[in-house]
Structure 1
Amino acid sequence: MIEPIQTRSQTCSPRGLTARWRGLRAAAAIALVCAALGGCAGEQFQKGYVLPVGALEQIPIGASQDQVLIVMGTPSTVATLNGEVFYYISQRASRPVAFMNDRIIDQRVIAIYFDKNRQVRKLANYGLQDGRIFDFISRTTPTSGQEVNYVAPLFKALNVGQGNN
């Protein structure tokens, strides 16, 4: 006796093909999303001034303004507070996924104060600690005066001075 030959149309119903395509499309979409999120996860970058390793140790009190420029380079901004002050501003930021907004991790302002003779009289490395501006060199929190009035707006992006952070 001759057995009937099964054709494709008998084994693959239209309902079966539709379910298979849905499954493949869902798997492809999940793989695409995972690849997009996984490829950009944990991106970190630095904006502004990049402090060379050991640079601050090369600038003793009494060093000339020219020596500072050789070691540190051009400042981000300059101010006059009982002599000139060079400010070097930097920010480290991250974002978990490429299309999300940046989140600031750390912000620093290195300030180099000069006397009337253009010699270094003070170094400061300002950052935030417990929501307040803190000098990581002298290990103190500046409390008042022109110095704080000029440095505080540089940290505005981190909401300093707006309540208890």
Structure 2
Amino acid sequence: MRALTPERLQFGGHCLIVLERTLRAAEPEEGCALLLGTHSHTTLRVQWIWPCRNVWTPAEERRQRFSLDPREQLLAQRWCRNRALTVLGAAHSHPTSAAVPSATDRQRCVGPTLMVIRSGLEPPPAHLRAWWMPEVGGAPPHLADPKELAIEPQPAAPGAEHLGE
């Protein structure tokens, strides 16, 4: 079954704060995380951020490349199944470039999926951008044009306004 192209991207509760802190913590290397939530018709709703370690090898290239640990991906998928959630996609940072999918991002991406990128160069709110990466099919990955999605923050649940700080 082919996934519908989303029209809306919502981030629930404090997910944007957690994502921002997760990606910034990895600097000067690229940080990465999985985005967990629900996909309902044309709306994606991110409800959890699953921080991951950048395992790109060689380690010296992690300032411009990232790779998710496959074990983390399997653990996140199992965790989601037990909670009626799904892995919607991944987020990563570009510490020294714009928040747009690079040629490497496009080549390594297996769509359809959500890709969120944080730029270390751009001021808020342009520093965080979301992209729907389509299914490539038989076309070369660089020919599949990603669709930018507006990020819609959703309010946190009552009583969760301080993140335990």
Length-normalised TM-score, structure 1: 0.23
**TM-score, scaled to structure 2:** 0.23
Larger radius of gyration: 1
Between Structure 1 and Structure 2, which shows a larger proportion of helix residues?
A: 1
